[in-house]
């Protein structure tokens, strides 16, 4: 029997996702109960770069440097998120193996596909705790994932600070 365990934590630039990672390391992957067969997979999904035709609304051509700048910003953001996640991991003194994965596209679809492809045993996500109106307008990535992933999902709410 294969007792390898894969824990995927979806991270982004929010404090909520970093809290969810910290919670996961403290509660699911506690250093007190190390499992050498556990792999923590940090999953970041870059927003898709808007696709434009070569002409903008005014009829001018988009310069290649504009598209290159947007691509560089996206890569820099992914690197920044992964460095923050690595810092959280290091503070928790965890001994699990870590893999970093970066995808691109609509977060809810890419997270579900990645979790399925990686054959994850559990998915951990932070909750932005949007109200009803924002959730209705923007949608909820965690709610979508809860309905579509095949593994258990833990949605971690960050305590309110007063």
The string of pLDDT tens digits covering residues 104-155 is 999 999 999 999 999 999 999 998 766 555 555 546 888 899 999 999 999 9
Q: Is 43 helix (H, G, I), strand (E, B) or coil?
A: strand
Q: Closest Cα partner for 5 from 91, 96, 85, 92? A: 96
CB neighbours of residue 19 within 10 Å: 17
pLDDT over 70, % of the chain: 80
First to last CA, the chain: 48
Measured between alpha carbons, how far is 128 from 10 in angstroms, rounded to an integer?
Answer: 13
> What's the rounded mean pLDDT across residues 62-88?
84
Strand order in the sheet with 5-11: 97-104, 38-46, 5-11, 122-127, 153-157
Residue 88: its pLDDT value, please?
Answer: 94
Residue 140: its pLDDT value, please?
Answer: 82
Residue 4: its pLDDT value, please?
Answer: 87
> What's the rounded mean pLDDT across residues 91-110?
90
Whose tokens are 């258990």? That residue is: 152
Residue 39 pLDDT greater than 90, yes or no: yes
Contact status, residue 22 vs residue 92, Cβ threshold 8 Å: yes
Lowest mean pLDDT among 33-47, 96-110, 144-158: 33-47
pTM of this structure: 0.84
Residue 149: its pLDDT value, please?
Answer: 95
Residue 57: its pLDDT value, please?
Answer: 54
> What token pair was written down for 120?
């994850």
């Amino acid at each position: 029997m294969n007792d390898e365990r894969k824990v995927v934590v979806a991270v982004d630039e929010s404090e909520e996702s970093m809290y969810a990672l910290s919670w996961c390391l403290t509660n699911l992957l506690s250093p007190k109960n190390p499992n050498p067969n556990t792999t923590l997979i940090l999953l970041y999904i870059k927003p898709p770069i808007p696709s434009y035709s070569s002409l903008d609304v005014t009829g001018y051509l988009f310069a290649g440097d504009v598209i290159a700048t947007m691509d560089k910003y996206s890569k820099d953001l992914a690197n920044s998120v992964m460095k923050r996640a690595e810092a959280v991991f290091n503070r928790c003194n965890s001994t699990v193996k870590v893999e970093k994965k970066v995808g691109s596209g609509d977060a809810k679809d890419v997270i579900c596909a990645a979790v399925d492809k990686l054959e994850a045993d559990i998915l951990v996500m932070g909750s932005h705790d949007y109200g009803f109106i924002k959730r209705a307008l923007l949608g909820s990535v965690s709610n979508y994932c809860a309905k579509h992933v095949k593994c258990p999902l833990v949605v971690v709410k960050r305590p309110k600070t007063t």
